[in-house]
Amino acid sequence: VSTQSTWGLHFVAASEISVMASPHLADEIFFNHDDGTRVKPLKAQKVTIVGVGQVGMACAFAILSQGVAKEIVLADVMEDKLAGEVQDLQHAGAFMPARITRASADYAETAGSDVCVITAGVRQQVGETRLSLVARNLEVLRGMVPKIVKNSPDVIILVVSNPVDILTYVTWKLSGLPASRVIGSGTYLDSSRFRTLLAERVAINPQSVHAWIIGEHGDSSVPVWSGVNIAGVPMAQHLDQGEGLEWKEIHKQVVAAAYNVIKLKGYTNWAIGAAVSGLARTILRDEQRVVPVSTLVKGCHGVDKDVCLSMPCVLGRNGVTRLLHMPLSDAEAGAFRASSEAIWSVQADLKF
């Protein structure tokens, strides 16, 4: 079954790609991000979540309640809290389609994980930017990433801890894994917020709004206004008719969203938990969906440094295999490069 994209290009169902996909068309649409490495076929569908704070437990609850994985393992150095959280979730076993069988501070218990979600780290404080968190979280990753890979050499790592783009890069460097198998949650949630706020303006379901936030998950993120559409109807023409400033306030709301929630309740967790569950499902079921996640983008839209930023990516069982060659306006492409420079200015001096 073929479907038509925003730009009039035809795609086919993932199950038909191997038979029908045109290599020439694919070269035009995608940046290749596939190093040819293939992981073993899924058996257990095992997900490890490192960190049992508010975000980690929201991820665990979403994955459990949606039946995304058959088995979940929780890991944390806070053993009492870990034991309490696991018991609390196990008491709901009669209502859950998945199960938690182990929880431990020993990474040996995570062996054979298909996906590892990293949420551990120090919490973002009120008014603190994501970039200012990097020094405090670097040492946390240094102590866990090699252990994760040692016990699960075929794992795909999904980084959620902030600042997620820099920590995705750090995790990739520490892991020794191909870049395709280390991704960050990036602007997946930002894009959902963007779509939701746009949908509210026109009183429709957010699933009918197609819109993307790319670049950094943070202050330098880039809204792709040139690609916003509702059922194929581009919004760009309306933005150029005197309503642009009002509409573009929406991006400011997207950037401020997490800060506002943190100010009100001290942390964010439910929305990112649902987002992570969706990404885990996309990987485990090899859905080959196009999603905005943080990955290595050197060579995309003029970026010439090893930085991880969000771009629309094809995600499945082998991680990120392709990046969509998204048409950007000159201003959007320039903002994307500026976002990469903002990230590089912080991570350039990191020592591994």
Q: Report pLDDT digits (tens) over 67-88.
A: 999 899 999 999 999 999 999 9
Mean pLDDT: which of 4-13, 99-108, 136-145, 298-307 is highest?
298-307
Whether residue 301 lies in the annotated active site: no
Provide the percentage of residues in the chain whose pLDDT is more than 90: 66
Provide the whole-model pTM: 0.87
User: What is the pLDDT averaged over residues 257-276?
Assistant: 94
The residue type found at 341 is E
Long-range contacts of 12-16 (CB under 8 A, 24+ apart): 14/286, 14/287, 14/288, 14/316
Closest CA to 337 of 222, 196, 202: 222
- Identify the residue with better confidence: 125 or 284: 284
User: What is the pLDDT averaged over residues 137-145?
Assistant: 90
Taking CA atoms, 33 is separated from 11, 152, 182, 322, in Å, by 18, 22, 12, 5
Which position has the token pair 């968190």? 133
A 10 A CB-CB count for 143 gives: 11
Residue 1 has pLDDT above 50, yes or no: no
Residue 102 confidence (pLDDT): 79
Residue 28 has pLDDT above 90, yes or no: no
The whole-chain average pLDDT of the chain stands at 87
Residue 3 confidence (pLDDT): 43
Distance CA 153, CA 83 (A): 26
| Catalytic one of 217, 238, 301, 325 | 217
User: What is the pLDDT averaged over residues 220-234?
Assistant: 93
Phi, psi values for residue 333, rounded to 5°: -65, -40
Residue 231 confidence (pLDDT): 85
Distance CA 333, CA 92 (A): 48
Closest CA to 276 of 49, 106, 87: 49
Task: Name the E strands within 67-127.
Answer: 71-75, 99-104, 115-118
